Structure 1
Amino acid sequence: MKCIIVDDEPIAREGIRLLVDEIPQLELLKSFNNAESAAEFIKDITVDLIFLDINMPGINGIEFAHSIPKHTLIIFTTAYSQYALDSYEVDAIDYLVKPIDSIKFRKAVNKAIVYHSLLINEEKKRVDSIEDEYIFVKSDRKYFKVNLDDILFIEGLKDYVIIQMNNQRIITRMSLKAINELLPTSIFFRINKSYIVNKNHIESFDNNDVFIKNYEIAIGYTFREDFFKDFTNNKSL
């Protein structure tokens, strides 16, 4: 699971980092000393779990938790036990009071791992099968056969994805991350936090956007380097 730490205290961040390093299922992407910076980060990067302090300058942890994607899980880490009831409003996985006990920390992470696995499995069921040339996608209580070559791009909208083709669009309830994990990387590329594009349908691009038919799709800052490496490798003159 990809995780971040958000805490305004350097000692607290380091303590949580050491606990995270002991759990092989966790990959720490970055640590932040404020919610504003963390909010900018998760706009472009998928984060599965946030270790989140509550009492911070600026936007506090509870306020920030209300704005994060639904499938990003939260474990609150705070010195104040009186916020425990507030944590239930945002469906936090657990609430750990500092100083954090390593056993309680591992138990909280194990709960997050189990719940995350359930979420991913539930979403993957909506794509019934995937072959080299097509997928079956559930929408409106039916399964639609979608040829991979026909997909122009896929757009994520909260808990749904829109599969855009030339003359048809299919909407299904799942996350962009889940369908991205199923699609072949030889054909599809996640170009920003909200879009996956079919590389075979890209007609042109510049430093900021790709152009597919009449659609203009922005290249996300954190995806830009990989895009140019992937798309121009041995294909540019």
Structure 2
Amino acid sequence: MPATLRCIAIDDEPIALNVIKSHASKVPFLDLKRTFVNAIEALTFLKTEPIDLIFLDINMPDLTGLDFAQVVGNKSLVVFTTAYPEYALQGFELSALDYLLKPIAFGRFMQAANKAYERLSDDAKKSPYVFVKDGYDWVRINLDELQYVESEGNYLTFQEIGKKAVTRMTIGEAAEMLPGDQFMRVHKSYIVSLNRIEKIERHQLTIGKVQVPLSGSYRDELLERVK
């Protein structure tokens, strides 16, 4: 896995760039090299500096983010940042990695950062992981060892084999972060690793020594996926 992702941020609003700076400073694997209020200057920078990830505003003068992304092509991953949701479809048509709507919450920013990290990892399929905040620390969750995620109030417990991490996040955000081919929501409060299920009963699953509740609305889908 790469130690860090080299990234830049481009936005004609300095306040918006300050938000990206603040968020990026909290993510251990992001190395924010430069910020730009002028997209043309950013293009010049990219001619000599290899960059993994670009946080790119869409509605800018002279050169829009959409035009900028077309020029860059597939040389760098792009995460669009904008206050205008109507640009989302165009952004994804340009193969953007993600689309962040302003004001950007840190949890949502972290999801995009994790997605970029996983995309750029040569061995992501063999040993993927994500980072979550546990107290004041950022800890790595090894997805191959993650058994289940449990929601309780405003907190989630990521239960790995032999250890766990507790973070402030919604279960919906966790579902977006985790790869759908490996994990599935089986209850309003639980996401499980399909590879860790040992037994399926009518209303519960067995994972290790733990019984996880199974909602009827998810049961048919689960049975279909484990066949």
TM score, norm. by length of structure 1 = 0.49
CA distance in 1, matches of 2:87, 2:65: 10
Residues 151-195 of structure 1: CA deviation (Å, up to 9, x unaligned): xxxxxxxxxxxxxxxxxxxxxxxxxxxxxxxxxxxxxxxxxxxxx
Code of the aligned partner of 2:98: D
Please give the residue correspondences for 1:5-24 in structure 2 after superposition, counting only pairs within 5 Å: 5-24=9-28
Other-structure match for 2:50:
46
Question: What are the equivalent positions in structure 2 for 1:5-84 lying under 5 Å apart?
Answer: 5-84=9-88
1:51 is matched by which residue type in structure 2?
F
Deviations 1:25-44 (A, max 9, x none): 01011000021111000000
Distance 1:109 1:25 in 2: 9
Instruction: Give 1:69 shift.
Output: 4.6
Which of 96, 100, 103 is equivalent to 2:107?
103
Q: Distance in 2 between matches of 1:24 and 1:84?
A: 28
Q: Spell out, residue by residue over 1:108-153, the C-alpha distance to the aligned partner (whole angstroms, 9 max, x if none).
A: 11001000114999xxxxxxxxxxxxxxxxxxxxxxxxxxxxxxxx
Structure-2 change in CA distance of 1:63 and 1:17 (3 Å): same
The within-5 A match list for 1:167-206 is: none
Kindly tell me the number of residue pairs found equivalent between the two proteins. Answer: 121
Of 117, 120, 129 in structure 1, the residue corresponding to residue 121 of structure 2 is 117
Matches within 5 A, 1:101-180: 101-118=105-122
1:225 equivalent in structure 2:
none
Q: Secondary structure at the match of 1:77?
A: strand
Deviation at residue 6 of structure 1 after TM alignment? 0.2
Question: What is the SS of the residue equivalent to 1:46?
Answer: coil
Could you tell me how far apart the structure 2 residues matched to 1:63 and 1:69 are?
Answer: 10
Distance change (3 Å), C-alpha of 1:34 and 1:25: same
Asked if the contact 2:118–2:124 (Cα under 8 Å) also holds between the matched residues in 1, the reply is no
Distance apart, 1:71 and its partner CA: 3.4
Give the letter aligned to residue 75 of structure 1: V
Q: Secondary structure at the match of 2:110?
A: helix
| Residue of structure 2 equivalent to 1:90 | 94
RMSD between aligned residues = 1.6
Deviation at 1:7, TM superposition (A): 0.2
TM-score by length of 2: 0.51
Identity percentage of aligned residues: 45
Q: Extract unaligned runs of 5+ from structure 1.
A: 122-237
